[in-house]
Amino acid sequence: MEAGSRLAALSLLLSTVLSPCVCTVSPDQINPLVYEEQLLWVSGTQGEVSTYRIPLITFTSKGSLLAFAEGRKSSSSDVGAKFIAMRRSTDKGATWSPTTFIVNDGTHPDGLNLGSVLVDEDVGSVILIYSFCFHLYHCQPSSTMMVESLDDGLSWSPPKNLSVQLGVKTFAAGPGFGIQKRHAPAKGRLVVCGHGTIEGDGVFCILSDDHGRNWFNGAALKSIPYNQKKKAQDFDPDECQPFEMTDGSIVINVRNQNNYHCRCRIVVRSYDGGLSLPVDEVYFDYTLVDPAVAAGALQKDGVLYFTNPSNEQHRINLTLRWSVTHGQSWESKAVQIWAGPSGYSSMTSLDSGSPEDQKYIFVIYEKGQKNYDETISFVKIHLYGGQ
Ligand SMILES: *[C@@H]1O[C@H](CO)[C@@H](O)[C@H](O)[C@H]1NC(C)=O
Ligand SMILES: *[C@@H]1O[C@H](CO)[C@@H](O)[C@H](O)[C@H]1NC(C)=O
């Protein structure tokens, strides 16, 4: 490196380090910038795994980042035996631990499926909810399972079968994050929402008021016709992402499986802490064009963020949108994260109150050149254009 460019690099570094923080951020300053991107998993490159899919990401209460994915052992199929793969970062995503497999279903014909991750801030635990035998392929019944970490993701409990408490039903959590209510009503409650089987589909939430020890069934938004074969364009709410608004209501952004009413997202809201999802609170967000996929949604400092492959037909064009009007409208200046094949996505951010942590959100998504299931990619987004 020449002395001049070395000096330039040094002064750039210094200005980055010393530049004044965006101490009071206002929503109209939002100008998201893809700040860093790295691949966390590449399908077909690790001996025991054929395909990595269904990425989840969360911050722990200690500020570590945990990323999870299904490691599908012998094919890219939703059925079959799998691992839950995890990587952990203690420097906000700059570097990551090697992959560890925290759950292994052996050679099961219809093993585990992710899933929702959630953090209980009161006890500092991380909880993963996943399903087992969801497709009833050479097995029955379907079970809802849970593992928990009490040491910031380093070690995990043996799987616990929640179907003993919830009753046997086919329930696939998320995929995405579950929430712990921060505001009334039901402050402290754990809320995990997911969907049912193809015929008994719909959005269902399971709830815990004792930090995940006991779970009970909460809200349901059932498909129509319920428990019957669906036709194209029937009402079939499916995979979903709940998040809490600053007023304490829970908004759930939902996959519109059969393109009922539009090729766009279904949105529904609960005002009673996840006990009910009234039909009155259902609407269709025409701006959020969608090919029927699991999408990412997040509320941070009063601003909503949404990621999906923004295309009516195909899983391509992974796009970040944001709303400064609580979801009533979306800013027209969307940010394209990846033009090519892209599938499921999920988001997290750290709400520590520090100005530095206010600047970033973190996205994890399925990304490929030819097919969206080639890699799982992690993206750090600077919300204020790098300033
Ligand atoms: C979970 O519990 C239910 C209800 O007792 C049972 O039917 C099911 O077989 C259990 N699943 C597993 C994987 O142990
Ligand atoms: C990608 O998404 C943007 C924002 O929704 C949209 O304007 C554009 O038409 C999309 N492109 C493709 C190829 O789908």
pLDDT exceeding 90 applies to what percent of the chain?
89
Range list of H helices, 56-184: 163-166
Q: Could you tell me if the CB of 161 is within 6 A of ligand 1?
A: yes
pLDDT at 386: 81
188 with 181: CB under 8 angstroms?
yes
Supply the residues annotated as catalytic. Answer: 78, 239, 344, 366
Q: Could you tell me if the CB of 167 is within 6 A of ligand 1?
A: no
Sign of CA dihedral 376, 364, 335, 320: positive
Per-residue pLDDT of 3-47, as tens digits, reads: 445 544 544 444 444 444 444 567 789 999 999 999 999 998 667
Q: Could you tell me if the CB of 140 is within 6 A of ligand 1?
A: no
- Give me the amino acid identity at 34: V
156 Cβ contact partners less than 8 Å away, ≥ 6 residues apart: 102, 103, 128, 147, 148, 149
Per-residue pLDDT of 152-178, as tens digits, reads: 999 999 999 999 999 998 999 999 999
Atom index in ligand 2 nearest the CA of residue 334 equals 4
Give the mean model confidence (pLDDT) for residues 231-247.
97
Torsion of CA 177, 182, 187, 191, to 10 degrees: -10
Cα distance between residue 256 and residue 293, in whole Å: 8
CA 291 from centroid of its chain's CA atoms: 17
CA 199 from centroid of its chain's CA atoms: 24
pLDDT at 370: 98
CA 111 from centroid of its chain's CA atoms: 21
> What ligand has the least distance to the C-alpha of 335?
2
Q: Could you tell me if the CB of 334 is within 6 A of ligand 2?
A: yes
In this structure, the residue with its CA closest to atom 13 of ligand 2 is 317
Give 239 Cα–ligand 1 centroid separation in angstroms.
Answer: 23
Indicate the SS3 state at residue 377. strand
pTM: 0.93
Strands 112-120 and 176-177: parallel
Atom index in ligand 1 nearest the CA of residue 133 equals 13
Looking at the DSSP assignment, which residues form a beta bridge with residue 380?
36, 362
pLDDT at 14: 46
- Could you tell me which of 159, 68, 150 has the C-alpha nearest to residue 114? 68
Atom index in ligand 2 nearest the CA of residue 317 equals 1
pLDDT at 1: 43
Give 376 Cα–ligand 2 centroid separation in angstroms.
Answer: 21
In this structure, the residue with its CA closest to atom 6 of ligand 2 is 310
Mutate to test the pocket of ligand 1, among 161, 166, 215 (most ligand atoms within 8 A of CB): 161
Range list of H helices, the chain: 3-18, 163-166, 355-358
43 with 51: CB under 8 angstroms?
yes
Is the model more confident about 184 or about 24? 184
**Does residue 80 carry a pLDDT above 60?**
yes
Q: Which helix (H) or strand (E) holds 296?
A: strand 296-300
pLDDT at 7: 46
- Give me the amino acid identity at 293: V
